[in-house]
Structure 1
Amino acid sequence: MAASPTGAPRQDSATIAARPVVLPVCENCLDLSRSAFIAYRREDVGAQRKRIRRILDEICELPVISLFARPLARRRFRAHRRGNAYFGAYASFAEAKRDVPQGKPADYNTEAAADLYTHRQQCVEASDYPALFWLKHFLDKGARRIFDMGGHVGLSYYAFAHLIDYPGDLHWQVHDLPRVMEKGRQLADERGVASTLEFVDREQASGCDVFMAKGVLQYLECDLAGFLRTLAVLPRQLLINLTPMHPQQTCFTLQNIGVAVCPYRISGEPQFIADLQALGYRLVERWEHHDRAVRIPFEPQASIDRYLGYCFVLDGAQTADASTETRVNLMQSAACGANP
């Protein structure tokens, strides 16, 4: 073995190649890697199942096969138990309601519906951040009366409190179905927030500072503009989130979430915006949720691939551009996993 210029024995390449390489091992890193790999495999299997199901559904919708597949799809829809399922395309809310399968509740005014989504009290979902951003902006500008249409048991009130400080004179009003509101009042009493969080009739929306509607407009028999026309005083600001919108026309379908089957509105976006503008509202911002979709078997013309959200301000209502600092703070909370 020859000596190196420094006097140390020189090792040839064969000796180096034959020597095993020993890397430092971190047990925690290995555990995390195993967990990540298992989670990846589960997601991969889930994605494969969805692709296979989508291919089968597309085959079933071929002209001849659909004659036999449609009755089977309806039976599968009726027996659905977990998640959301959709079936049928209808011209009106009433027509959709007449086609609700017998033996199924036609609305969510049930004990089971009141107990849904309890986990959402503890965290802010990614889809909530646009509305949360604008709500904080309006609170900073002096808004104090919030009307939360379809706010369940106060889900947004509890979840948003983890990320923003409510003013001491805040008045948050929720309207929902009777059994859901009953559960909400009990929960507010237990948590000692009944003086701030109130459950009211929907007429109380008149003159509120901020009208919030998260994932609820699709369940109403009338459209939003039609409801607002019934109020004595229009709300100053509208925060609409998680709403299914069709790029052209309004249509209806049936939704099954296990505890009930309900008529489900998919609003035509052009008319939706035009009707609110006719009332004097100005569109401030629009956002999209690409993780939500409505796929209706055998009805591709009525299916949609995203949900939408909006912020509207009544012309004449004082507002200002939201500060960059506020945007950055909320986005940092989302990126850093500030959800409890």
Structure 2
Amino acid sequence: MSGRLQQALDQIGRLPGVLQWRKSRFDKMFEAGEACCCRGLFETHAQAAAAAPKTRPLGYDNTDAAGMYRDRLDRVYPSDYAMMLWLQNAFADGVRDVFDLGGHVGVAYYAYQRMLAFPSDVSWRVHDVPAVLAAGQQEALERDPARRLTFTDNFETAADADMLFTAGCLQYLEQTLAERIASLRRRPRWLLVNLLPLHEQSAYWTVQGIGTAFCPYRIQHAQTFFTDLERLGYRVMDKWENLEKDCWVAFEPEHSLDRYYGAALKLE
């Protein structure tokens, strides 16, 4: 399609009557759980939660959501390789106790061992919502004969970990990562963060449809995210882009993202 034709179609799509029809059609698909993307812009988690359709549960604390991501248990994706590299470096640095914030049923624990030799004395603890923790404990009965994977509903135990590991979770939390870490009696030496939506100019909440549920979804301001962690004493060792991930906020191109981010940080 030529540039001029595409431009003309875009202009037609923005005409008041056409735009109203497009939004109405999208809303029906979104509320039916058929559009796995985001809708709306909000200042707070509470506002986003209130705007979520009532046609599906809110958040991941339900059986259907707990059954997601099974495809990731036995394979890794391009966005995983930087995390595996830095996890290997951290193991060499003496890391043995890993606290996996939002690790679902132990997705990274299982998948990464296909590529990395985990130290025999590693302890990997997953913190997630109750429905997911229950599914993870059941999964581990068959998948983890070494019993190195455990599950906890207490974030405070992250204070005992050498590393806080998180991939694709921070956007669902009411508190920022810096706020959570600041509340701990002891800060983990290492932070590995991945699949993080960051915007260069602004911070906002939206509502994400995941098919089985709707979730308040946070897009953080990039510079603020790292500055807040640096104030806690963390030094950024590396940053990378996750080009396989994007975030489309319907009818909001300036607030949509064409990539996500990851980073490795260490406490100085």
TM-score of the two chains, using structure 2 as the length reference: 0.92
Of residues 239, 264, 267 in structure 2, which corresponds to 1:311? 264
Whether 2:127 is the aligned partner of 1:179: answer no
Shift in CA distance, 94/237, structure 1 to aligned 2, threshold 3 Å: same
- Distance in 1 of aligned mates of 2:178 and 2:134: 27
SS of 2:246 mapped into structure 1: coil
Instruction: Name structure 1 gaps, 5 residues minimum.
Output: 1-47, 316-340
SS of 1:81 mapped into structure 2: coil
Determine if contact 1:61/1:69 at 8 Å carries over to the other structure: no
Shift in CA distance, 62/240, structure 1 to aligned 2, threshold 3 Å: farther
SS of 2:253 mapped into structure 1: coil
Give the greater-gyration-radius structure (CA).
1
Give the C-alpha shift of residue 203 in structure 1: 1.5
Tell me which residue corresponds to 1:149: 101
TM-superposition CA deviations, 1:42-82 (whole Å, max 9, x none): xxxxxx9xxxx999777534455334432332222112337
Give the C-alpha shift of residue 113 in structure 1: 1.1
Determine if contact 2:38/2:248 at 8 Å carries over to the other structure: yes
- Distance in 2 of aligned mates of 1:202 and 1:278: 21
Tell me which residue corresponds to 1:242: 195
Of residues 229, 244, 255 in structure 2, which corresponds to 1:302? 255
Q: What do you get for the CA RMSD once the two structures are aligned?
A: 2.2
- Distance in 2 of aligned mates of 1:58 and 1:160: 46
After TM superposition, list the pairs within 5 Å mapping 1:66-145 onto structure 2.
66-81=19-34, 84-145=36-97
- Distance in 1 of aligned mates of 2:11 and 2:108: 38
Of residues 205, 208, 217 in structure 1, which corresponds to 2:170? 217
* Equivalences, count: 264
Determine if contact 1:188/1:194 at 8 Å carries over to the other structure: no
Instruction: Name structure 2 gaps, 5 residues minimum.
Output: none
SS of 1:106 mapped into structure 2: coil
Consecutive aligned runs of 4 or more in structure 1 exceeding 6 Å deviation: 53-58
After TM superposition, list the pairs within 5 Å mapping 1:1-340 onto structure 2.
59-63=12-16, 65-81=18-34, 84-193=36-145, 195-200=147-152, 201-315=154-268
Q: Hey, which of these two has a bigger chunk of strand by percent?
A: 2
Between 200-209 and 158-167, the greater mean CA deviation after superposition: 200-209
Structure number with greater CO (CA < 8 Å, separation at least 6) is: 2
Between 112-121 and 211-220, the greater mean CA deviation after superposition: 112-121
Give the C-alpha shift of residue 225 in structure 1: 0.8
- Distance in 2 of aligned mates of 1:57 and 1:193: 56
- Distance in 2 of aligned mates of 1:60 and 1:309: 35
Question: What percent of counterpart residues are identical?
Answer: 38
Give the C-alpha shift of residue 305 in structure 1: 1.2
